[in-house]
Structure 1
Amino acid sequence: MDNIPVWHLVIISLITCCVIMGLVWLWAHKIKNAGVVDIFWSYNFPVIAIILLLLAPGFGTRKTMICAMVIIAGFRLGTHLAIRIVSHIKEEEGRYQQLRKEWAPNAERRFFFFFQFQGISNVLLAIPFFVSAVNPAPGLSPFEYAGFALWFISVTGETIADRQLAAFKKDPVNKGKVCDTGLWHYSRHPNYFFEWLMWVSYFVFALGSPYGYLAVISPAIILYLLLKVTGIPATEAQSLRSKGEAFKKYQASTSVFVPWFKKG
């Protein structure tokens, strides 16, 4: 296994992620809730990390370090999403209800390809993991220490943001209100900000390996998706549909992304 080519690792990871997403699509089709894709999109990164931990030929300490980072972060986010989604498993989230309406009458078929694309995106975004895990050079570089420190900050920040939102929603007094406490007082999406920062940390970590600069693709794609595609636009559109004027006032007073800047 010491000489396994990186492209073999990519193919193994791609097949595994796509098979998982195919099975998840079958489940989603049965329960009529496409939102479960978010859970397994997060869990697929630890799956890739385990594959690399077992098969990649890189320096043991570096490989263990990057894989542990990915497993911890992916499992935390996936479990957080699972708790939230499973709690209302019979009610599909508004974002996916909207897609179901837009894609009718071929929604299920289009969801299948959507799920497969999510599996492919897992592998594309995993570039920093592949780059780091196949590097055989002994010892760790300053980039890898810096990447780990930034990762710790980002995971901690995202965990705090998620817990603050969950606590707000759990209180029945807040039903129908907009969460504007804690980090959410400054940013409408602190969880997304720290998620992006985590991908920046993986890029910084990868700079300690040959061709590490290629890993910039990952935070760049995540930033684009969050700001322009499936992240903030879809989430805010749903919030406007469900909370109306209250969310418009919240939009006017907060930063869209960065959690330490508040308007006014």
Structure 2
Amino acid sequence: MLQIIAINFGISLAAFIVLWAISVKIRNASIVDIFWGPACALPALMTWLQLGHHSLRATLLTALVLLWGMRLGLYLFSRNIGHGEDFRYVRMREKAGGDKVFVMRSLTHVFILQCVISFFVSLPVQIGQFGVSPWFLFPEGELGVLAYAGIAIFAIGLIFEGIGDFQLQQFKKDPANKGKLMDRGLWGWTRHPNYFGDAAVWTGLTLIALESQWGFLTILSPALMIYFLYHTSGKALLERSMSRRYPEYETYKKRVSGFFPLPPSR
């Protein structure tokens, strides 16, 4: 198991370094965001390809994370293409005081950092492919209660994330909505349906992985994902920006749940 995981990390690191080289060439570090979903799915696929036999759980984990990763990657590609570098990286470039400093800083502080984080987050879909836990009294080729619960939570998360992204995309396409705050559909139940969806997806995948022999080692992976979504690069960072752009955002925050979907207060 450790050998396969080590090989996976080497491949992931090489992929991120190639991606960094491309970002230097085109002067746009934002391409790292597009690769986030595929980067979390790649180690699962590499694990599946290296295993000599494929259990139902291994194939299920690989298929589900590939579905999530490819959908997210394609959505971010269609959203970001032609829009230039994200404000976060523009700000980093300005603070660096020049492209030469930023180039090396982006390698360590953006690309390698995202490689490490995405790889850690993906541990459930790697480790979950190895053997059935002795704590679960069912044959290797079958799934238990945790796995079925995980599939249901994964489906809820994927649907929530997909619908939220679609609703926001359609809202922005309408010229009449220019300069307006999106507060309709799922965005009227949670300020971040995509982040809630992500959290549900990885909670579901981890529940499936928990039925594997070493699945208990992966519990911290979704916790890290949720921490980043809620406290650092996700919700917290985005809401600071939204508060500056939209005067009505503070009222929206009081009316709509910050993460878990709840009926809007009047």
Q: TM-score, normalised by structure 2?
A: 0.90
**Which residue number corresponds to residue 263 of structure 1?**
265
Determine helix, strand or coil for the equivalent of 1:200: helix
Letter paired with 2:255: S
Cα distance change of structure 1 residues 211 and 117 upon mapping to structure 2, 3 Å threshold: same
Distance 2:192 2:96 in 1: 27
Give the drift of 1:112.
0.7
Matches within 5 A, 1:154-173: 154-173=157-176
1:95 aligns with 2:98: no
Give the drift of 1:244.
3.4
Determine helix, strand or coil for the equivalent of 2:143: coil
Which has the higher mean CA deviation after the structures are superposed, 226-235 or 247-256?
Answer: 247-256
Distance 2:184 2:97 in 1: 38
Tell whether the 8 Å contact from 2:16 to 2:115 is kept in structure 1 after alignment.
yes
**Which residue number corresponds to residue 17 of structure 2?**
22
**Which residue number corresponds to residue 229 of structure 1?**
232
1:122 aligns with 2:118: yes
Tell whether the 8 Å contact from 1:58 to 1:135 is kept in structure 2 after alignment.
no
Which has the higher mean CA deviation after the structures are superposed, 249-258 or 176-185?
Answer: 249-258
Give the drift of 1:129.
1.2
Tell whether the 8 Å contact from 1:193 to 1:257 is kept in structure 2 after alignment.
yes
Distance 1:244 1:152 in 2: 32
Q: Alignment RMSD, CA only? A: 1.7
Distance 1:174 1:99 in 2: 30
**Which residue number corresponds to residue 61 of structure 2?**
66
Select the residue among 141, 149, 154 that pairs with 2:152: 149
**Which residue number corresponds to residue 133 of structure 1?**
129
Letter paired with 2:104: R
Determine helix, strand or coil for the equivalent of 2:211: coil
**Which residue number corresponds to residue 34 of structure 2?**
39
Determine helix, strand or coil for the equivalent of 2:141: coil
Runs of 5+ consecutive residues of structure 1 not aligned to the other structure:
1-5
Give the drift of 1:65.
0.7
Letter paired with 1:61: L
Give the drift of 1:58.
5.7
Select the residue among 189, 192, 208 that pairs with 2:192: 189
Distance 2:32 2:195 in 1: 17
**Which residue number corresponds to residue 55 of structure 1?**
50
Which has the higher mean CA deviation after the structures are superposed, 250-259 or 224-233?
Answer: 250-259
> Which consecutive aligned stretches of 4+ in structure 1 deviate over 4 angstroms post-superposition?
none
Tell whether the 8 Å contact from 2:150 to 2:208 is kept in structure 1 after alignment.
yes
Tell whether the 8 Å contact from 2:17 to 2:111 is kept in structure 1 after alignment.
yes
The alignment covers a number of residue pairs equal to 256
Runs of 5+ consecutive residues of structure 2 not aligned to the other structure:
133-139
Q: TM-score, normalised by structure 1?
A: 0.91
Query: What do residues 211-236 of structure 1 show as CA deviations (whole Å, max 9, x unaligned)?
Result: 32222111110111011111112212
Matches within 5 A, 1:200-239: 200-239=203-242
**Which residue number corresponds to residue 10 of structure 1?**
5
Tell whether the 8 Å contact from 1:151 to 1:201 is kept in structure 2 after alignment.
yes
Query: What do residues 155-184 of structure 1 show as CA deviations (whole Å, max 9, x unaligned)?
Result: 111100000000011111111111111010
**Which residue number corresponds to residue 254 of structure 2?**
252
Tell whether the 8 Å contact from 1:58 to 1:132 is kept in structure 2 after alignment.
no
**Which residue number corresponds to residue 3 of structure 1?**
none
Give the drift of 1:57.
4.8
Tell whether the 8 Å contact from 1:151 to 1:197 is kept in structure 2 after alignment.
yes
Select the residue among 80, 101, 104 that pairs with 2:97: 104
Distance 1:126 1:198 in 2: 12
Distance 1:72 1:196 in 2: 15
Give the drift of 1:63.
1.0
